[in-house]
């Protein structure tokens, strides 16, 4: 087993990078709209942000938990690293319009990274 400090560093690094991946998809779509129309409304940014986070969340939701990972592992991650994951969400998504419901989905995505296996991610 790895020391707690190494586990924490790995978990936070992985979550940060995955959140950056999601943000990159949001930025790509925002840039595409701006390229088409030379502008974008806050409502359009909100919809793009929501659609991308929901689509990614839905893919994780459809993915089965790894059989070797106990159900309680998700709760353990949140109890141990939840505040750090919150800070990562705020850091990565900054001023993007994200509702509390979407923030909760991002948290679930973060825990899924360590409880599930999606072939299109790894």
Q: Give yes or no for a contact between 52 and 25, defined as CB atoms under 8 angstroms apart.
A: yes
- Residue 119 is assigned to a structural domain of this protein: no
Q: Give yes or no for a contact between 60 and 115, defined as CB atoms under 8 angstroms apart.
A: no
Measured in whole angstroms, the distance separating CA 2 from the mean position of its chain's CA atoms is 24
Joined tokens for residue 69: 């990972």
- Residue 104 is assigned to a structural domain of this protein: yes
- Residue 46 is assigned to a structural domain of this protein: yes
Burial class (CB in 10 A: 0-12, 13-18, 19+), 95: exposed
- Residue 122 is assigned to a structural domain of this protein: no
Per the rule left: phi > 0, alpha: psi between -120 and 50, beta: everything else, 94 is: left
Domain hosting 43: range is 4-112
> Which is it for the CA torsion 79, 81, 87, 88, positive or negative?
negative
- Residue 117 is assigned to a structural domain of this protein: no
- Residue 103 is assigned to a structural domain of this protein: yes
Q: Considering the entire predicted model, what is its pTM?
A: 0.92
Degrees to nearest 5, angle at CA 61 with 54 and 20: 50
- Residue 94 is assigned to a structural domain of this protein: yes
- Residue 118 is assigned to a structural domain of this protein: no
For 35-76, write each residue's pLDDT tens digit. 999 999 999 999 999 999 999 999 999 999 999 999 899 999
What's the domain count of the chain? 1
For 76-121, write each residue's pLDDT tens digit. 999 999 999 999 999 999 999 999 999 999 999 999 999 999 888 7
Alpha helices in 38-115 (DSSP H): 42-62, 72-93, 100-112
């Amino acid at each position: 087993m790895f020391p707690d400090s190494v586990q924490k560093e790995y978990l936070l690094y992985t979550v940060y990078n995955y959140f950056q991946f999601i943000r990159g998809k949001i930025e790509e779509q925002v840039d595409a709209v701006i390229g088409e129309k030379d502008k974008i409304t806050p409502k359009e940014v909100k919809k793009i942000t929501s659609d991308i986070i929901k689509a990614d969340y839905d893919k994780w939701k459809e993915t089965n938990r790894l059989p070797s990972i106990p159900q309680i592992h998700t709760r353990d991650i949140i109890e141990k690293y939840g505040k750090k994951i919150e800070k990562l969400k705020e850091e990565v998504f900054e001023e993007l319009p994200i509702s509390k419901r979407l923030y909760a989905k991002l948290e679930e995505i973060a825990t899924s990274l360590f409880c599930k296996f999606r072939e299109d991610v790894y």
